[in-house]
Structure 1
Amino acid sequence: MAIWRVQDAKARFSAFVRASLTEGPQVVTLRGVETAVLVPMAEWRRLTEARPTLKDLLLTDAARTDTLAPPRGRARRRADLTFE
């Protein structure tokens, strides 16, 4: 990923966009801090469609509780403690 300062990205916006299409995501920094990323539209759609929304998850018919807790096993019990 190439890194562009905001001033450079603004001044050379066409080159900035072309670089995202040919080289992949381009990082924008503001005062030396990574602030934003420019990605091609196809990549953006792939990233946003990969995850279902919370609404979709809650409305699915599939069981959602199967993976919440590990299955119970046969645990050994401790010997009774007596206090005198």
Structure 2
Amino acid sequence: LSEVIDRATTKGPQTVTRNGRTAVIVVGADEWERKTRRTGNLAEFLANSPLRRSHLRIERRKDRPSKADL
């Protein structure tokens, strides 16, 4: 496991297989932080959307939603 961790931190993600199929992928902590870091909030995302100025209109449905047994 130490060797896999060393390779993940120096050479990039390491695939670990079980019975010939991918079981897990080990990534270094720095890469994980970089890939999962938030770069903004929902309001910023929507404000920067290329669809913002497309004049797309989405009509609200007037029929009632179907019932679902939860």
- TM-score, normalised via structure 1 length: 0.48
Higher radius of gyration, 1 or 2: 1
Q: Which residue number corresponds to residue 39 of structure 1?
A: 27
What amino acid is the match of 2:47?
A
What amino acid is the match of 1:47?
K
Identity of aligned residues (%): 27
1:1-84 matches, cutoff 5 A: 13-50=1-38, 52=40, 56-57=41-42, 60=43, 63=47, 67=51, 70-71=54-55
Separation (CA, whole Å) in 2 of partners of 1:46 and 1:21: 13
What's the offset of the Cα at 1:20? 1.1
Q: Which residue number corresponds to residue 8 of structure 1?
A: none
Number of equivalenced pairs: 55
**Deviations for 1:3-61, whole angstroms, at most 9, x for unmatched residues?**
xxxxxxxxxx1111111122211001121111211111000000001555xxx31xx26
User: Residues 64, 18 of structure 1: CA spacing in aligned structure 2 closer, same or farther, 3 A cutoff?
Assistant: closer
Gap runs ≥5 in structure 2: 57-70
Secondary structure of 1:37's aligned partner: strand
What amino acid is the match of 1:24?
G
Separation (CA, whole Å) in 2 of partners of 1:63 and 1:25: 34
| Coordinate RMSD, CA, aligned | 3.1
